[in-house]
Amino acid sequence: MNNITVIGAGTMGNGIAHVFAQNGYSVILTDISAAALEKGIATISKNLSRLIDKEKIQAIDKTQTLDRITTSTSIEEGVSKADLVVEAATENYELKLSIFKELDEICPEHTILATNTSSISITKIASATKRPGKVIGMHFMNPVPLMKLVEVINGYSTSSATTNSILSLSKKIGKIPTEVNDYPGFVANRILMPMINEAIETLFHGVAGVAEIDTVMKLGMAHPMGPLQLADFIGLDVCLSILEVLYDGFKNPKYAPCPLLVNMVVAGKLGIKSGEGFYDYSTSRKAEKIASQFSR
C-alpha cells in the first residue's frame, strides 16, 4: 500500500493523515469543508513541532511529512489512486452509508475501505457497497499520533486478506492492532462510554463537582485523564452518538445517555472543539495545555 486517502480532517482525520505521512505514505486528506482542511493541516504542523521540541523527530522530518500530504474538497479527486481509504467523517449512520456507497462507485477495484467509526456497525456500512469483503473497521484512538492502539474490527463479510493487510499496515505505522468482532461499540467504547456516561450521571445527580469526579478517577484509578475531561477531549457529540448506538443496539436502559449530556450537545457545548464542555477552553492556550497534559 502506498496511497492513502483520509476522509474528514477533524479531530481524528488530521491525526490519521499525520501518522501515515510521518511513516512515509502519500496521503490525500479530504473534507467537505475547506476551513476544516486548513485547520487540520495547521494542527498537524503544530503537533509535528511539538515532536521536534520533545526531540522525537528532526525539523527535516516535519517538512517531509507535510510534503507527503495534499488536501482536496473533492472525494472523487482524492480517491482515484487510493490503495486504502480511511473514513473519519462525522459519526452519523446515514452519512457514513452514503460516503461508502459513493466510495464503492468511484474507488479502484483493489481499494480497501476502512472506517474509523467509534460504534457504527461495520457490517451495515459494508452493506452499502458491492465489496463487503474489503470493508473493515480501523479504529484509531485519540490523539492518534500518541496512542498506540488500533482496534481492527471485522465485519460479517470482511475477508481474511483484508484483515491481514490492515493488521500488517497498522504495525508498519508503529501501532499495535487488536482484532475484534462487529458488535455495538466494539470493545473500546462498549466499556469506556458507560463509564463516561456514569461520570456525567454522577455530576447530574449532584454527587460531586466536575473537578472532584475527575480527581477521584485520576488519582484513585490512575487514569491519565478524568472521564469528564476525556469526554471533552473526545467531543460530547461523539460520546452521545456512541451511547445512542449502544442503547439502540442492545435495547438495554443501562446505555441510555444522561439527559445532561443530551442538553449540552443540543446547546452546542461539545468540549474542546467548541471551546466549552465540562471545562472552559475559551482560549486556545487552555485547550493546548489540557492536550499537552494528556500527551505526557
Q: Report how far apart the first and last C-alpha atoms of the chain are (Å, whole number).
A: 32
Rounded Cα distance, 273 and 12, in Å = 12
- Which of the residues 3, 116, 118, 119 is marked catalytic? 118
- Which of the residues 47, 119, 170, 189 is marked catalytic? 189
Shortest Cβ distance from residue 188 to ligand NAD (Å)? 8
- Sheet strands side by side (includes 149-154): 69-72, 26-30, 3-7, 84-87, 112-115, 135-140, 149-154, 176-181
* Angle at 244 (CA atoms; ends 84, 253), nearest 5 degrees: 140
> Does the annotation count 94 as an active-site position?
no
Shortest Cβ distance from residue 120 to ligand NAD (Å)? 7
Residue 103's identity, in one-letter code, is L
Compute the radius of gyration of the chain from its Cα atoms. 19
- Which of the residues 87, 91, 151, 276 is marked catalytic? 151
Q: Which residues make up the interface to ligand NAD (CB under 6 A)?
A: 7-13, 30-33, 36, 88-91, 95, 99, 116-118, 139, 142, 234-235, 238, 273
- Which of the residues 3, 18, 116, 139 is marked catalytic? 139
Shortest Cβ distance from residue 141 to ligand NAD (Å)? 6
Residue 232's identity, in one-letter code, is D
11 vs 158, beta carbon nearer ligand NAD: 11
83 vs 91, beta carbon nearer ligand NAD: 91
79 vs 88, beta carbon nearer ligand NAD: 88
Paired sense of beta strands 135-140 and 69-72, if any? unpaired
149 vs 216, beta carbon nearer ligand NAD: 149
Shortest Cβ distance from residue 92 to ligand NAD (Å)? 8
- Residue with nearest beta carbon to ligand NAD: 10
208 vs 275, beta carbon nearer ligand NAD: 275
> Does the annotation count 189 as an active-site position?
yes
Shortest Cβ distance from residue 123 to ligand NAD (Å)? 16
Question: How many alpha carbons fall within 13 Å on the CB side of residue 17?
Answer: 34
Closest CA to 13 of 168, 147, 144: 144
User: 122 — alpha (psi -120 to 50), left (phi > 0) or beta?
Assistant: alpha
> Does the annotation count 170 as an active-site position?
no
8 vs 132, beta carbon nearer ligand NAD: 8
Q: Cβ neighbours of residue 115 under 8 Å, at least 6 residues apart?
A: 86, 87, 88, 96, 100, 122, 125, 135, 136, 137, 138
Shortest Cβ distance from residue 59 to ligand NAD (Å)? 28
> Does the annotation count 139 as an active-site position?
yes
Question: Which positions are annotated as active-site residues?
Answer: 118, 139, 151, 189
